[in-house]
Structure 1
Amino acid sequence: GYITPEQAAKLKIIKEHFDNLEARKAELEELILALANPYQQEISIILTAPGFKNTFTAIGIISEIGTNMEAFPSAKHLCSWAGLTPTNNESAGKKKSVRVSKAGCYIKPLLVQCANAAIKSKKHPEIRDRYLRIKKRRGHKKAIIAIARMLLTALYHMLKNGENYNSDLYQKSDILPITREITVEQAILMAQFQGYRIKSATE
């Protein structure tokens, strides 16, 4: 086709604008990498997890949750903070909404993107199998949130223990201290809450 001088001038301006944006983007990425330089060990650990193949993705995770997992008593607390835990809204025996909270407006979309990538990987069948099992019962959206929670649980243990990803990390549960004690009254209340009817030894 034929390009008029006016169109050529516009294309030149657009190209210069695009090149300028690319240059600013490169400068910003260089600054981010410089700020993340002290966390190279943690970044390399995160990059071993499924769905985390980009350095800036790992930096985004660290910028949200940090590297010191002592700030969170358990992986469940971290998942709740990130808005990946279903709410428990029940009244008079009727369960209402179990939607996840609006917390984690930055880290939650990032983890969901990583989860979408992880379920397509053939290197980690435990993730895809879990996704397919939940999808059959609850649908795609709830299954993806479950996988995102699974990944964040694994990241918690990886950063806390300084170890690379393995398929057993997300299954780790927080072990309660052996010195934990409750009173008889508390035990009775817990049993009643679970639906048990308490009766005396003479009955």
Structure 2
Amino acid sequence: MTVFKSDKHLCSWAGLTPQNNESAGKKKSVHVSRAGVYLKPLLIQCANAAIRDKKNPYFRIKYERIKKRRGHKRAIVAIARMILTCLYHMLLKREPFNPSDSDYTNMPEKLYQKHRQQYIKKAIKLLEKEGCTIIPPKIT
């Protein structure tokens, strides 16, 4: 892994970074580059398999968040890049895959409460959409 200066350099070599084709303030293309003709399709297949994995939903959660904003294809490329970045750091540091953002016990209390409130609001909306009546608790 010392051949590559950083994980971004590896992702660029593999063809998982967007092209920068801009002139006079006009963006002409932001497609992924044409590099990595052998590695890129393999990583895309791995990303597709990773989002379907039921035992470890880490990449599925990431995929669903990105898909809401960017769409399926861009989300798959983003997951492929995440996988390649994880592989780079795993091989460089010689340690197993252990994502720090999947451990919710280390999350700051403010952030935890914010996420909790968002989940509660979404659950209430879903229940109301299904026809349930929600009665808020009494505040004493």
TM-score (norm 1): 0.47
Letter in 2 for 1:107: L
CA separation in 1, counterparts of 2:88 and 2:12?
13
Provide the residue aligned with 1:149 in structure 2: 81
Q: Per the alignment, in what secondary structure is the counterpart of residue 73 of structure 1?
A: coil
Deviation per CA, 1:108-154, whole angstroms, max 9, x where unpaired? Answer: 11111110010011333331121112212221111100000000000
- C-alpha separation in 1, matches of 2:22 and 2:100: 32
Q: Which runs of 5+ in 1 are unaligned?
A: 1-68, 170-203
Greater Rg by CA: 1
CA distance in 2, matches of 1:123, 1:164: 17
Structure-2 separation of matches of 1:145 and 1:106:
15
2:43 match: 111
RMSD: 1.5
Q: TM-score, normalised by structure 2?
A: 0.67
Which residues of 2 match residues 35-46 of structure 1 at below 5 A? none
Unaligned runs of 5+ in 2: 102-140
Give the letter aligned to residue 99 of structure 2. S
Task: Summarize the alignment of residues 18-29 of structure 1 with structure 2, pairs less than 5 Å apart.
Answer: none
Aligned to 2:71: 139
Correspondence list, 1:23-172, <5 A: 69-168=1-100
**DSSP 3-state at the match of 1:122:** coil
Match of 1:188 in 2: none
The separation in 2 between residues aligned to 1:168 and 1:87, in whole angstroms, is 30
* 1:7-22 alignment, distance < 5 Å: none
C-alpha displacement of 1:77: 0.1
How many pairs does the alignment contain? 101
Counterpart AA for 1:168:
S
